[in-house]
Amino acid sequence: MITGTPKPIEEIMEMLEPYDNIVLAGCHGCVTVCRVGGEKEVQVLASTLRLAREAAGRTINIREVSLERQCDPEYVEQMRPYVTDYQAVLSIACGAGIQFLAEKFTTTPLLPGINTGFLGVTERQGEWSERCQGCGDCVLHLTGGICPVTRCAKSLFHGPCGGSVQGICEVDKETKCGWQLIIDRLVALNQMENYGKLKPYKGWNSSRDGGPRRIIREDMI
Amino acid sequence: MLPCTGRIDESLLLKAFENGADGVMVIGCLEGDCHYISGNIRARARVERVYAILERIKIGPNRIRMYNLSAGEGSKFAAFANEFVNQIREVGPSPINLVRGATKTEAVTAKETT
Protein backbone atom coordinates (compact mmCIF):
# COMPACT_ATOMS: atom_id res chain seq x y z
CA MET A 1 0.00 0.00 0.00
CA ILE A 2 0.94 3.65 -0.22
CA THR A 3 1.73 4.82 3.28
CA GLY A 4 1.68 8.26 4.81
CA THR A 5 1.84 10.25 8.01
CA PRO A 6 -0.41 13.07 9.18
CA LYS A 7 0.94 16.56 8.75
CA PRO A 8 1.34 18.47 12.02
CA ILE A 9 -1.93 20.21 12.90
CA GLU A 10 -0.09 23.54 13.10
CA GLU A 11 1.01 23.18 9.47
CA ILE A 12 -2.54 22.38 8.37
CA MET A 13 -3.92 25.32 10.35
CA GLU A 14 -1.44 27.61 8.63
CA MET A 15 -2.49 26.30 5.20
CA LEU A 16 -6.14 26.87 6.11
CA GLU A 17 -5.59 30.40 7.37
CA PRO A 18 -7.18 32.09 4.30
CA TYR A 19 -10.22 29.80 4.29
CA ASP A 20 -13.43 29.50 6.30
CA ASN A 21 -15.38 27.02 4.17
CA ILE A 22 -13.65 23.87 2.98
CA VAL A 23 -14.08 20.26 1.95
CA LEU A 24 -12.05 17.70 3.86
CA ALA A 25 -11.64 14.69 1.60
CA GLY A 26 -10.51 11.25 2.67
CA CYS A 27 -9.95 8.13 0.61
CA HIS A 28 -11.04 4.54 1.25
CA GLY A 29 -7.88 3.13 -0.36
CA CYS A 30 -4.37 2.72 1.03
CA VAL A 31 -4.58 5.67 3.41
CA THR A 32 -7.53 4.07 5.17
CA VAL A 33 -5.53 0.91 5.74
CA CYS A 34 -2.55 2.79 7.15
CA ARG A 35 -4.95 4.92 9.21
CA VAL A 36 -3.96 8.31 7.96
CA GLY A 37 -6.64 9.35 5.51
CA GLY A 38 -9.82 7.28 5.79
CA GLU A 39 -13.31 8.11 6.95
CA LYS A 40 -12.39 7.99 10.63
CA GLU A 41 -9.39 10.22 10.12
CA VAL A 42 -11.62 12.69 8.26
CA GLN A 43 -13.95 12.84 11.27
CA VAL A 44 -11.12 13.27 13.75
CA LEU A 45 -9.29 15.91 11.70
CA ALA A 46 -12.50 17.83 11.00
CA SER A 47 -13.36 17.95 14.72
CA THR A 48 -9.80 18.90 15.59
CA LEU A 49 -9.77 21.74 13.07
CA ARG A 50 -13.17 23.04 14.14
CA LEU A 51 -12.11 23.03 17.80
CA ALA A 52 -8.74 24.64 17.09
CA ARG A 53 -10.26 27.35 14.93
CA GLU A 54 -13.08 28.12 17.32
CA ALA A 55 -10.70 28.28 20.26
CA ALA A 56 -8.73 30.84 18.24
CA GLY A 57 -11.92 32.88 17.86
CA ARG A 58 -12.81 32.03 14.28
CA THR A 59 -15.03 29.21 13.05
CA ILE A 60 -14.56 27.05 9.98
CA ASN A 61 -17.20 25.15 8.03
CA ILE A 62 -15.99 21.72 6.94
CA ARG A 63 -17.79 19.35 4.62
CA GLU A 64 -16.57 15.86 5.42
CA VAL A 65 -16.35 13.42 2.54
CA SER A 66 -14.56 10.17 1.91
CA LEU A 67 -14.21 8.93 -1.64
CA GLU A 68 -13.82 5.30 -2.58
CA ARG A 69 -10.53 6.27 -4.24
CA GLN A 70 -9.12 9.67 -5.05
CA CYS A 71 -6.99 8.18 -7.82
CA ASP A 72 -9.91 7.06 -10.01
CA PRO A 73 -11.90 9.55 -12.10
CA GLU A 74 -15.34 8.06 -11.46
CA TYR A 75 -15.02 8.61 -7.73
CA VAL A 76 -13.37 12.01 -8.02
CA GLU A 77 -16.28 13.18 -10.18
CA GLN A 78 -18.62 12.61 -7.23
CA MET A 79 -17.24 15.82 -5.73
CA ARG A 80 -17.88 17.95 -8.80
CA PRO A 81 -21.49 18.97 -7.99
CA TYR A 82 -20.46 20.79 -4.83
CA VAL A 83 -16.72 21.42 -4.91
CA THR A 84 -17.06 24.99 -6.21
CA ASP A 85 -19.29 25.86 -3.24
CA TYR A 86 -16.16 25.70 -1.09
CA GLN A 87 -13.02 27.83 -0.94
CA ALA A 88 -10.56 24.92 -0.85
CA VAL A 89 -10.22 21.16 -0.55
CA LEU A 90 -8.01 19.65 2.13
CA SER A 91 -7.23 16.10 1.04
CA ILE A 92 -5.80 13.42 3.27
CA ALA A 93 -5.26 10.97 0.44
CA CYS A 94 -1.81 10.19 -0.94
CA GLY A 95 -0.01 12.63 -3.20
CA ALA A 96 -1.47 10.92 -6.26
CA GLY A 97 -5.02 11.44 -5.05
CA ILE A 98 -4.43 15.06 -4.10
CA GLN A 99 -2.91 15.83 -7.50
CA PHE A 100 -5.74 14.08 -9.29
CA LEU A 101 -8.29 16.24 -7.47
CA ALA A 102 -6.24 19.33 -8.37
CA GLU A 103 -6.25 18.32 -12.05
CA LYS A 104 -9.98 17.75 -12.08
CA PHE A 105 -11.05 20.81 -10.09
CA THR A 106 -8.93 23.53 -11.62
CA THR A 107 -10.48 26.53 -9.90
CA THR A 108 -10.34 25.17 -6.35
CA PRO A 109 -7.10 25.20 -4.31
CA LEU A 110 -6.02 21.72 -3.14
CA LEU A 111 -4.17 21.35 0.16
CA PRO A 112 -2.33 18.25 1.42
CA GLY A 113 -3.25 17.06 4.90
CA ILE A 114 -0.73 14.22 5.01
CA ASN A 115 2.85 13.55 4.01
CA THR A 116 2.87 10.63 1.60
CA GLY A 117 5.41 7.98 2.46
CA PHE A 118 6.34 4.85 0.54
CA LEU A 119 5.07 1.59 -0.94
CA GLY A 120 5.15 -0.65 2.07
CA VAL A 121 3.66 -3.27 4.31
CA THR A 122 2.11 -3.37 7.77
CA GLU A 123 4.59 -4.88 10.24
CA ARG A 124 2.04 -4.57 13.05
CA GLN A 125 -0.63 -2.06 13.97
CA GLY A 126 1.04 1.33 13.84
CA GLU A 127 4.23 0.19 12.12
CA TRP A 128 4.87 0.12 8.38
CA SER A 129 8.02 -0.45 6.39
CA GLU A 130 9.10 0.05 2.81
CA ARG A 131 9.24 -2.81 0.34
CA CYS A 132 9.07 -1.43 -3.19
CA GLN A 133 10.34 1.62 -5.05
CA GLY A 134 8.46 0.87 -8.25
CA CYS A 135 11.64 0.71 -10.35
CA GLY A 136 9.72 -0.95 -13.18
CA ASP A 137 12.09 -3.90 -13.66
CA CYS A 138 11.41 -6.49 -10.97
CA VAL A 139 14.12 -9.04 -10.09
CA LEU A 140 12.51 -10.57 -7.00
CA HIS A 141 12.55 -14.03 -8.61
CA LEU A 142 16.35 -13.92 -8.52
CA THR A 143 16.77 -12.40 -5.07
CA GLY A 144 14.70 -14.68 -2.89
CA GLY A 145 11.76 -12.28 -2.89
CA ILE A 146 13.77 -9.49 -1.25
CA CYS A 147 14.26 -6.31 -3.23
CA PRO A 148 17.83 -5.03 -3.52
CA VAL A 149 16.63 -1.65 -4.81
CA THR A 150 14.52 -1.02 -1.70
CA ARG A 151 16.09 -3.09 1.05
CA CYS A 152 19.69 -2.10 0.32
CA ALA A 153 20.22 1.50 1.41
CA LYS A 154 22.45 2.05 -1.65
CA SER A 155 20.24 0.01 -4.01
CA LEU A 156 23.27 -2.10 -4.85
CA PHE A 157 22.78 -4.94 -7.27
CA HIS A 158 25.68 -7.28 -6.71
CA GLY A 159 26.05 -8.05 -3.05
CA PRO A 160 26.61 -6.16 0.18
CA CYS A 161 28.95 -3.20 0.55
CA GLY A 162 31.64 -2.79 3.21
CA GLY A 163 29.14 -1.12 5.51
CA SER A 164 27.38 -4.39 6.23
CA VAL A 165 28.40 -5.66 9.66
CA GLN A 166 26.90 -8.82 11.10
CA GLY A 167 23.81 -8.39 8.97
CA ILE A 168 23.22 -4.75 9.93
CA CYS A 169 23.42 -1.81 7.54
CA GLU A 170 25.78 1.06 8.32
CA VAL A 171 22.93 3.53 7.73
CA ASP A 172 21.42 2.76 11.12
CA LYS A 173 21.37 -0.04 13.67
CA GLU A 174 17.70 -0.78 13.12
CA THR A 175 18.17 -1.49 9.41
CA LYS A 176 19.07 -4.97 8.31
CA CYS A 177 21.50 -5.30 5.41
CA GLY A 178 19.32 -6.02 2.38
CA TRP A 179 22.00 -8.12 0.75
CA GLN A 180 22.58 -10.18 3.86
CA LEU A 181 18.83 -10.89 3.86
CA ILE A 182 18.98 -11.85 0.18
CA ILE A 183 21.96 -14.18 0.56
CA ASP A 184 20.50 -15.82 3.68
CA ARG A 185 17.24 -16.38 1.86
CA LEU A 186 18.89 -17.74 -1.29
CA VAL A 187 20.90 -20.16 0.83
CA ALA A 188 17.76 -21.27 2.67
CA LEU A 189 15.98 -21.78 -0.66
CA ASN A 190 19.02 -23.56 -2.13
CA GLN A 191 18.97 -20.99 -4.93
CA MET A 192 22.39 -19.41 -4.63
CA GLU A 193 22.88 -19.96 -8.35
CA ASN A 194 20.41 -17.08 -8.83
CA TYR A 195 22.99 -14.71 -7.39
CA GLY A 196 25.05 -15.14 -10.53
CA LYS A 197 22.05 -14.57 -12.79
CA LEU A 198 21.60 -10.94 -11.87
CA LYS A 199 22.04 -8.58 -14.77
CA PRO A 200 25.51 -7.09 -15.19
CA TYR A 201 23.91 -3.68 -14.91
CA LYS A 202 20.45 -2.39 -14.11
CA GLY A 203 18.67 -0.18 -16.56
CA TRP A 204 17.06 2.65 -14.64
CA ASN A 205 15.13 3.97 -17.61
CA SER A 206 12.00 2.21 -16.33
CA SER A 207 12.46 3.91 -12.96
CA ARG A 208 12.13 7.59 -12.02
CA ASP A 209 15.18 8.55 -14.09
CA GLY A 210 13.05 8.92 -17.19
CA GLY A 211 10.75 11.48 -15.54
CA PRO A 212 7.06 10.94 -14.70
CA ARG A 213 6.02 7.49 -15.91
CA ARG A 214 2.95 6.24 -17.70
CA ILE A 215 1.58 2.77 -18.23
CA ILE A 216 -0.46 2.22 -21.36
CA ARG A 217 -2.09 -1.17 -21.63
CA GLU A 218 -3.34 -1.39 -25.23
CA ASP A 219 -5.23 -4.59 -24.34
CA MET A 220 -7.34 -2.67 -21.85
CA ILE A 221 -8.09 0.46 -23.82
CA MET B 1 -23.89 8.09 27.66
CA LEU B 2 -22.25 5.26 25.75
CA PRO B 3 -22.57 1.85 27.41
CA CYS B 4 -19.32 0.25 26.20
CA THR B 5 -15.93 1.90 25.91
CA GLY B 6 -15.03 -0.56 23.15
CA ARG B 7 -17.35 1.47 20.90
CA ILE B 8 -15.58 4.74 21.60
CA ASP B 9 -13.46 6.32 18.97
CA GLU B 10 -11.57 9.57 18.83
CA SER B 11 -14.18 11.40 16.80
CA LEU B 12 -16.92 10.72 19.38
CA LEU B 13 -14.73 12.10 22.14
CA LEU B 14 -13.85 15.20 20.13
CA LYS B 15 -17.53 15.68 19.26
CA ALA B 16 -18.29 15.97 22.97
CA PHE B 17 -15.90 18.92 23.16
CA GLU B 18 -17.42 20.43 20.02
CA ASN B 19 -20.79 20.12 21.72
CA GLY B 20 -19.54 22.17 24.63
CA ALA B 21 -18.17 19.70 27.16
CA ASP B 22 -15.54 21.14 29.49
CA GLY B 23 -14.31 17.65 30.24
CA VAL B 24 -14.97 14.06 29.24
CA MET B 25 -14.76 11.16 31.64
CA VAL B 26 -14.43 7.71 30.11
CA ILE B 27 -15.21 4.81 32.43
CA GLY B 28 -14.45 1.34 31.18
CA CYS B 29 -14.59 -2.10 32.73
CA LEU B 30 -11.56 -3.27 34.66
CA GLU B 31 -8.64 -4.15 32.44
CA GLY B 32 -8.74 -7.87 31.77
CA ASP B 33 -12.53 -7.94 32.25
CA CYS B 34 -13.61 -6.64 28.85
CA HIS B 35 -16.40 -8.74 27.30
CA TYR B 36 -14.78 -8.01 23.94
CA ILE B 37 -11.30 -8.88 25.25
CA SER B 38 -9.48 -5.63 24.50
CA GLY B 39 -12.20 -2.99 24.00
CA ASN B 40 -11.26 -1.06 27.13
CA ILE B 41 -7.52 -1.27 26.35
CA ARG B 42 -8.20 0.20 22.92
CA ALA B 43 -10.40 2.85 24.50
CA ARG B 44 -7.51 3.85 26.75
CA ALA B 45 -5.24 4.29 23.71
CA ARG B 46 -7.93 6.38 22.01
CA VAL B 47 -8.38 8.54 25.08
CA GLU B 48 -4.63 9.10 25.16
CA ARG B 49 -4.66 10.14 21.50
CA VAL B 50 -7.48 12.62 22.13
CA TYR B 51 -5.66 13.92 25.20
CA ALA B 52 -2.65 14.64 22.95
CA ILE B 53 -4.83 16.31 20.30
CA LEU B 54 -6.51 18.57 22.88
CA GLU B 55 -3.18 19.53 24.33
CA ARG B 56 -1.80 20.30 20.89
CA ILE B 57 -4.68 22.57 19.90
CA LYS B 58 -4.61 24.29 23.28
CA ILE B 59 -7.99 23.03 24.52
CA GLY B 60 -6.50 20.70 27.10
CA PRO B 61 -4.66 19.20 28.91
CA ASN B 62 -6.45 17.40 31.75
CA ARG B 63 -9.89 17.65 30.15
CA ILE B 64 -10.21 13.96 29.34
CA ARG B 65 -9.46 10.99 31.55
CA MET B 66 -10.10 7.27 31.58
CA TYR B 67 -11.08 5.32 34.66
CA ASN B 68 -11.66 1.60 35.07
CA LEU B 69 -14.39 0.22 37.33
CA SER B 70 -16.51 -2.85 37.73
CA ALA B 71 -20.30 -2.48 37.64
CA GLY B 72 -20.43 -3.26 41.36
CA GLU B 73 -18.25 -0.37 42.49
CA GLY B 74 -20.88 2.30 42.98
CA SER B 75 -19.09 4.24 45.69
CA LYS B 76 -15.86 4.20 43.72
CA PHE B 77 -17.76 5.51 40.71
CA ALA B 78 -19.09 8.39 42.80
CA ALA B 79 -15.59 9.12 44.12
CA PHE B 80 -14.12 9.11 40.60
CA ALA B 81 -16.93 11.33 39.30
CA ASN B 82 -16.39 13.84 42.10
CA GLU B 83 -12.64 13.76 41.53
CA PHE B 84 -13.06 14.41 37.83
CA VAL B 85 -15.59 17.19 38.33
CA ASN B 86 -13.20 18.89 40.76
CA GLN B 87 -10.38 18.48 38.25
CA ILE B 88 -12.45 20.16 35.54
CA ARG B 89 -13.53 22.95 37.91
CA GLU B 90 -9.86 23.58 38.56
CA VAL B 91 -8.91 23.83 34.88
CA GLY B 92 -12.01 25.94 34.21
CA PRO B 93 -14.29 26.20 31.17
CA SER B 94 -13.02 24.98 27.82
CA PRO B 95 -11.63 27.75 25.58
CA ILE B 96 -14.46 26.86 23.19
CA ASN B 97 -17.02 27.75 25.84
CA LEU B 98 -15.16 30.93 26.73
CA VAL B 99 -15.26 32.03 23.08
CA ARG B 100 -18.93 31.03 22.75
CA GLY B 101 -19.76 32.82 26.01
CA ALA B 102 -18.01 35.99 24.84
CA THR B 103 -19.81 35.85 21.48
CA LYS B 104 -23.15 35.45 23.26
CA THR B 105 -22.40 38.35 25.60
CA GLU B 106 -21.39 40.52 22.65
CA ALA B 107 -24.63 39.61 20.88
CA VAL B 108 -26.71 40.44 23.96
CA THR B 109 -24.85 43.73 24.46
CA ALA B 110 -25.32 44.64 20.82
CA LYS B 111 -29.05 43.85 21.12
CA GLU B 112 -29.36 45.95 24.26
CA THR B 113 -27.62 48.94 22.72
CA THR B 114 -29.79 48.91 19.57
Task: Give pLDDT, residue A209.
Answer: 81
C-alpha distances in Å from residue B43, one per residue of A159, B12, B27, B39? 47, 11, 9, 6
Residues in chain B, total = 114
Give the residue ranges of chain A where pLDDT is below 50: none
CATH 3.40.50.2300 maps onto chain A at 2-118
Task: Give pLDDT, residue B46.
Answer: 96
Task: Give pLDDT, residue B113.
Answer: 60
**Minimum CA–CA partner of A51 in chain B:** B18
- pTM above the 0.95 mark? no
Task: Give pLDDT, residue A204.
Answer: 85
Task: Give pLDDT, residue B109.
Answer: 65
Task: Give pLDDT, residue A53.
Answer: 97
A52 with B58: Cβ contact below 8 A? yes
CB contact set of B26 (below 8 Å; sequence gap of 6+): B5, B8, B13, B43, B47, B64, B65, B66, B67
Task: Give pLDDT, residue A202.
Answer: 80
- Compute the distance between CA of residue A63 and CA of residue A57 in angstroms, rounded to an integer: 20
The predicted model gives B40-68 an average pLDDT of: 94
C-alpha distances in Å from residue A97, one per residue of A6, A61, A133? 15, 23, 18
Superfamily of domain covering A2-118: Response regulator (3.40.50.2300)
Task: Give pLDDT, residue B92.
Answer: 95
| Residue B114 clears pLDDT 60, i.e. is over it | no
Task: Give pLDDT, residue B54.
Answer: 97
| Residue B111 clears pLDDT 70, i.e. is over it | no
Task: Give pLDDT, residue B102.
Answer: 79
Interface test with B, best of A14, A24, A51 (most B CBs within 10 A): A51
Task: Give pLDDT, residue B110.
Answer: 65
**Minimum CA–CA partner of B9 in chain A:** A40
Task: Give pLDDT, residue A121.
Answer: 97
Task: Give pLDDT, residue B112.
Answer: 63
Give how far B73 is from chain A: nearest CA, Å. 33
Interface of A with B in 19-58 (CB under 8 A): 40, 43-44, 47-48, 50-52, 54-55, 57
- Compute the distance between CA of residue A49 and CA of residue A111 in angstroms, rounded to an integer: 14
Q: Which chain A residues have a beta carbon less than 8 Å from that of B99? A: 54-55, 57
The answer to whether A59 faces chain B, any CB pair under 8 Å, is no
> What separation, in Å, do the N-terminal and C-terminal C-alpha atoms of chain B show?
42
Task: Give pLDDT, residue B105.
Answer: 73
Strands B24-28 and A61-67 turn out to be unpaired
B99 with A54: Cβ contact below 8 A? yes
CB atoms within 10 A of CB B13: 24
Task: Give pLDDT, residue B104.
Answer: 73
ipTM (interface pTM): 0.90
- Compute the distance between CA of residue A121 and CA of residue A144 in angstroms, rounded to an integer: 17
Q: Which chain A residues have a beta carbon less than 8 Å from that of B57? A: 9, 48, 51-52, 55
pLDDT digits 0-9 by tens, B57-109:
999 889 999 999 998 999 999 999 999 999 999 999 999 999 998 777 776 66
Provide the mean pLDDT of chain B: 91
